[in-house]
Every structure is written in C-alpha cells, then in structure tokens.
Chains A and B, each alone.
Chain A
C-alpha cells in the first residue's frame, strides 16, 4: 500500500493542473479534435452529396456534360424521380430490355410490411423467449442457451439452401409471410434482450411472485415496461435490417413475382438495368428512394439509436 500513497506535493500539483485545464478557455484537445473531425466529416459525407446531386442530373446532361456534377448544364431536374415514380420517360429514351413495371408504391408497402410487421412479431417472440431464459428455471436451460448462442458462429450460407426448401415446402413463398416468419429464429436480438432482462433486479420478480402473480402477468406488467429501452432499440435495428435486406427477398421472389418485391429488390432490378454510364442518374435516384425512409427515421431518432447501441456495447 505504501507505493500507492501520494505526497502532498504531488497532490497539490495535480489539483493545480486540473484547475488550469478546466479554467482554460483554450483547451487544445477540444480544438484539435474539432478541426480533425470537421475535415473528416466533410470527406465522410461526400458520397451522400454525390448521390444526391447526381440524381438531380438529367439524362442528356449525363451524356453530354459529364464533368458538371454539382451544377448540371441544364439545371436541376427531377426527371429521374419522375421516371421511377410515375413512369414518365425522358425524351428520346425507349424502355430497353426492361420488362417489369415500376410499381414503386406496392414495393414500398411490401417493404413496410416486412420491416414493421417482422419487427413487431420478432420483438414479441424474442422477448417471450428471453423471459423464459432469464426468469424461468428449467432443466438444460443453460445448455440450450449456450447452443443457441453458439449458432451465431455459423454463417447464413450454410443454412440458405435448407431455408429455401423449407419455405417452399411450407408454401410460404406465395405470400409475403415468407419475409417475416423465417427471421423469427434470429439470435442477435434475443441475446440482446436477454442480456438486458438479466439486469432487472431479481427481488422485483420475487416479490411479484410472492404477491401471487403468474408468469404472464409478470411478463406483461413488470418486465416489458422495464425493458422498453432495449425493445425500442431492437425494434429500430430490426426495422433497419428488415428494410435494407436484399438477399433473402430476392432469393424468394426475385424472378418474376413483381407484386411481392420489396423496395430493395425493385431498386436492385432498376439499378441493374441502368448499368451503362448514361443511366447513372436513374440508378442514383433509385438509391435515394431506397435510402430516404431510413434516413428520415435516423435523423429523427438518432439520439435514441446511438444511446441504444452504446448501452448494448457496454453490457455486451
């Protein structure tokens, strides 16, 4: 213990330094970090800017004046968006080699169903399971949970084939249900919720049990309200994941069921048809359309999202 003792001189020196740092209007750390972060963020955000301005460039301008990215030769135009949303083609382009109508409205609704419906259902199912793992003591509980966690290691590719066969043999692929039901077995979300439930003081549960509450009541009246944060965070992540998912819906419906496409699948189709450099405007506009709902949600809720990620990082 002796070496951890400090002399009074050392302590006074430390207090002086602390004083200086807090009183000083000129904190070198803050200035340097501000400058670096500013430059970094400007570069970091430039792809967004490019995408946004690129999508406002007309077809003719892209071909004839490729250098004018930010101030297109004929000015800004919404013709790319019109083409995607209303089906109005710009002058002189026929629809070449494309087949499907651009049913943006249907696709948007499908994405909403997949993202929102899937998330709500998942929250329900996963929180039930997390409750069982935390508060109900049954044989093999730890082993079962360890097994489920271990499955996180196995990449999706190993199960993709079987998944597809399962879904087809259950006939799910005829409806949109195939977008949400297979995801109900997801592990990350359940793990997150369970970790959070573990931090709920056990005495609360004990006293509730002694008051005669059965498990359902405890779940509904105590655990869920307390777990609001983690459910909200997981809900947000689930929404973003469900909205952005491309591979699974494409594998299911990609070929021809135009009505069942989600927004991502539709946009991927449009972008694939716009691979030549003069159609890049419509590809970028497609990207903006895919991105916009999530972006808006992010801007509104970003505080909560970041808090959620932070707390999951601490407890994880």
Chain B
C-alpha cells in the first residue's frame, strides 16, 4: 500500500512540475497582439468600403443588404415599441439595411456581453442598445468605438449640440463620444393627493398637493404623522371593488377586511426611498459626485448626501418613514401616502388601477356625490419628480434637478466594415433625429413608453408636447434639461453598488432590533466608501 502511495505521489509531483513549466512557458510567450481589442480609441481596424456617389461623398442609397446584429437591453412592455420601430426602419431601408434585434433584458445583458466577448466572439453584436451609465465602463474595456471621427468620415448628420449636455456627458470620455444618447428617465414619487387634500395638508391654500421643496416635504410628513398619531387622519381605500368611504384612523372601516385597514399602527407617511435612484438624486442635486478630481471615491464627503442619510435616520425614528413592505399593496389602502418607484409602472399599471372609474361613480361602494365630483378625489393617484431632495447646501445650478439614467446606441469593435458603421449611425440618426412625413419625430414614438428624449429639438417639437400632455408619466417627468445623468467613469457598476450598499445597510440597521443613530449611519457611510475605494484600487491593479 505504501509503495503505491509513494508511486502515486511521485507521479503527481512530476505532473505538477510539468504543467507548471508549461504554464511559465506559456506566460513567457504570451499573445501580445490584438491592438484593436485593447486600445479603446483605436479605429484602425475599420476597412473603408463606403459606396460613394459622383461627388465623392458617401451615398446611403447605394448600400446593399447590410446586416446588423443589435442587442437590446429593453424588456417588456417597452420592447414591443422598440421592435415596431426597428420594423419600420427595416421597411424604409429595405434592400439597404436590415437590423436584427436580440432582446437580452437588463438582468443578463452585461454578463452576456462579457462572456460572449471572452468566449464566443463570433456571436458578439454589432450594435449595443444599452444603459448610458455603463457606456464608458464597457467602452474602456475595449468594446466600443469612439464615434466622433466615424460620424465625420461618413458625413451622417448627428449633431451632438442638439443633445442635452447633462445627459450626454455620461457617454463622453476624454472628449470623445462612445455612444449616442436616446432617452432618460428617473424614479418618481407616487402620491395619494386625495388624502393630502382631505386632511387639509395641501399647499397654496390646499390647492397644490405635490411638495416642491425640502421644507414643504418635511412639513407634509410631520403633518401627516401628527394627525395619524391622534387618530384623526382621514383615509380611504381606492382598490377596485373595495369600500371607498372615508374613515378616520381611530374608527376604522367596518366594511374592509383586517389586512386592508389603515390603522394608527400600520400607517406611515412615506416608505423608505429606493436604494438605487434616490440616493444618486440626493448626491447630484446637492452638487456632489461619486469621484473627485483625483479619481478617488468622494460621495461620502457631500453635505447633501450626509443630510439625506441623517434625514433617513431622524425621519425613521420619528416614524415619518416606514418599512417598504409591499408598496403596491399598502398604497391604495391608505396605509402609506407616498412611495418611490421607477417610471415603468406608472402609465401601464398604477394609473389604471388607482384612477379607476369606480371613484367617479357616486352612490356605489361608499363614494359620495362630493367625492365623485371633485377632480382630486376622483383621480386620487398622482406622480411627481422628487423635488424635495435639495437641502440648503445645494448649489443653484443643480438644486432643481434630479438623477436619471437612460439608453444609448453604440457601435462595437466587432464591426470592421465602414458600411456597417454607416448603417449603425444611420439607424441611430433615424431613431433619435429622424422624422416621418408629417414632421413627427420617430423618437416621440419611443418616448410614449415613458421616457424623456435626450434631444432638445425633439422635446420642443409639437408632436412630443402633444404626446406628453396625454401621458401622466411624461407630464410628471417634465423637462429633460433637469436630468443629471451619471458622471462618466469606468467604475460605474462598483460605485453605484457601493452607494446602494451603504444606503441599504443603513436602512437595514434602522429596521433591526438595535435601531440606528445618526453617528452610526454616517460611520457606515464612511466605512462603505472606504471599502469601495479599496475595490477601486483592486480593480486598478487588474486593469492594464
């Protein structure tokens, strides 16, 4: 037995030595080419095969059957609109350009990009329709071309001057554009304006029910809490087929099931803010940034963000904030008056559920004549931008804005033919600046799904304004000039995750048995920021 073990061990050692030597040899003669893949700014690999007209300029009508593979990050329901738009484009450019869309969805998109790039390059897409905050991160990995010189070479009329600066800045690195911005949107606050009006907590003499600044928000929260504590807050249930009569918290509503009742114990003025978007709004609105001029993590230094964290603690401890159990269930019952959520549900779901016909039909389910006639009571659900994040320290140029991300179109390094580059740019131009025979922008169609256009001429056009007037989401989101997109950085994922983790950790600590103090919360913010800085150092080591 021992002899066998010895033999086995010696065999293993020989194998190990052999393979380590092999490894070292492989390391020594490493593959050092692939200019195209490594240097982000390099465009030398593109072969100029543009069909030119008599004047020597590129003539798009001479293109023949150029095929493009586009990967889209858009999920349902917007996906349908995108596919319709692409179909329309393919029709208009039949025989010249054909775009094939693969919908990958935001859950797997970036993972698929990475593993396809590493393992399965022949399936890598030609065009990426992706999120704008990740644009520079992936461009600096060597995935996308810088577009300015390509636009010049093909002469396609994309004029970045028409795009909003604060949105397009997230796609610019070292003065070059790595993507063409399409749209932008941010998290919205859902509001039970009927409860605010009924209790007389509105502004401007109880005629305006959306808080427009920090002080109004604080006043509203405290007002709701005070009335709730005394049990005299008026609420009602607006779910379909539930009893809609007004009742005070201390009395309850005998026609409602126990789980659907709002009581002094389960009522909260607002739920915790979202961990993803609202903290970035708090940071940018107050003039902060994720990284400072030296590239070091700096969000923990911003006074506005610190105030945001402090408010989280103080407001939770005074029961102004509550635990976001099931926001969509609690909101219509009156157990909560406001909550923050992405814009995708607003028009498709919430508006249909909560501004329903039953509320304007008097005589049934406890709806009185007065309720049905009043415009606010008949449409109790409204939605608004988070106007209340800017505190006193906010600089004037950012104080009235908010954070939003959006989508961009990029051209990947897989493309080595100028024809394909041209085709991609033509599609981008068609989508963002193209107009149909009536002068309506194609981008308006896309925006109807609930996105703000990233281009000023589109925003100011009649077709967009008409569409926005009909859409509760677009009306709430307002002017794209107010959107601040993420700063351009190769560490987008890690930085966003760091801030999200900090806020999430603090929210968890507030919910825990020991609770949380302002000091502890700020300590956690600092500790997480340090950890994020260390992660950045690590990533820098690995990046050549």
Contacts and interface: CB of A to CB of B under 8 A. Distances in A.
A262 B440 CA distance: 45
A165 B115 CA distance: 10
A100 B107 CA distance: 11
A312 interface: no
Nearest to A255: B112
A92 B329 contact: no
B112 A146 contact: no
B515 interface: no
Contact of B76 (A95, A142, A165, A255): A95
B257 interface: yes
A8 interface: no
Nearest to B106: A97
Given A255-B111, A255-B116, A277-B326, A143 B11 contact: yes
Nearest to A150: B8
A165 B103 contact: no
A173 B105 contact: no
Contact of B105 (A63, A97, A164, A168): A97
Looking at chain B's contact residues, is the secondary structure mostly helix, strand, loop, or mixed?
Answer: helix
A136 interface: no
Given A64-B329, A98-B105, A277-B326, A255 B115 contact: yes
Contact of B259 (A67, A164, A173): A67
A97 B77 CA distance: 8
A173 B326 contact: no
B329 A272 contact: no
Given A63-B328, A64-B257, A94-B77, A272 B107 contact: yes
B7 A98 contact: no
Contacts of B344: 96-97
Nearest to A97: B75
Interface string A138-159: 0010110011001000000000
Given A94-B76, A256-B112, A278 B257 contact: no
B348 interface: yes
Contact of A99 (B105, B116, B326, B348): B105
B4 interface: yes
Contacts of A164: 119
Interface in B347-363: 348-349, 352-353
A20 interface: no
Contact of A146 (B4, B345, B353): B4
A17 to B, nearest CB: 45
Given A64-B239, A147-B11, A92 B349 contact: yes
A105 interface: no
Interface residues of B, number: 38
Contacts of A277: 325-326
**In this complex, which of A63, A98, A256, A272 has the most chain B Cβ atoms within 10 angstroms of its Cβ?**
A256
Contacts of B345: 94, 96
Interface in B128-186: none
Contacts of A142: 4
Contacts of B106: 97
Contacts of B109: 255
A64 B115 contact: no
Contacts of A64: 239, 257, 259-260, 329
Interface in A114-171: 140, 142-143, 146-147, 150, 164-165, 168
B514 interface: no
A256 B75 CA distance: 13
Contacts of A269: 107
A92 B7 contact: no
B108 interface: yes
A131 to B, nearest CB: 21
A168 B108 contact: no
Nearest to B325: A277
Contact of A147 (B12, B76, B115): B12
B104 interface: yes
A146 B115 contact: no
B8 A65 contact: no
A236 to B, nearest CB: 32
Contact of B119 (A65, A150, A168, A278): A168
A1 interface: no
A100 B352 CA distance: 25
A66 B330 CA distance: 12
B120 interface: yes
Given A95-B76, A278-B326, A278-B328, A65 B115 contact: no
B79 interface: yes
Interface in B329-353: 329, 344-345, 348-349, 352-353
Interface in A209-236: none
Contacts of A276: 326
A72 interface: no
Nearest to A66: B259
A254 interface: yes
A93 interface: yes
B102 interface: yes
B5 interface: yes
Contacts of A96: 75-77, 344-345, 348-349
A64 B243 CA distance: 13
A65 B348 CA distance: 24
Given A168-B120, A173-B119, A256 B108 contact: yes
Contacts of A165: 119
Contacts of A97: 75-76, 105-107, 344
A116 B273 CA distance: 49
Contacts of B103: 99
A92 B345 CA distance: 11
Contacts of B329: 63-64, 278
Contacts of B348: 94, 96
Nearest to B333: A64
Contact of A255 (B77, B104, B259): B104
Interface in B33-92: 75-77, 79
A150 B77 CA distance: 53
A272 B103 CA distance: 18
Contacts of B108: 254-256
A120 B120 CA distance: 29
A165 B329 CA distance: 47
A62 B101 CA distance: 36
A309 to B, nearest CB: 29
Interface in A66-119: 66-67, 92-100
A278 B332 CA distance: 15
Contact of B349 (A66, A93, A256, A272): A93
Name, among A64, A95, A99, A100, the residue most crowded by chain B CB atoms within 10 Å (CB to CB): A99
Nearest to A67: B259
B47 to A, nearest CB: 27
Given A92-B349, A256-B112, 19 more contacts: A63-B326, A66-B259, A67-B259, A93-B349, A94-B349, A96-B344, A97-B75, A97-B105, A100-B105, A143-B7, A143-B8, A147-B8, A147-B12, A150-B8, A168-B119, A173-B119, A254-B108, A254-B111, A277-B326
16 contacts: A63-B328, A64-B257, A66-B259, A94-B76, A94-B349, A96-B76, A97-B106, A99-B79, A143-B4, A147-B8, A254-B111, A255-B104, A255-B112, A256-B102, A256-B104, A278-B328
Cβ-closest 3 pairs across A and B:
A255-B112, A99-B105, A168-B119
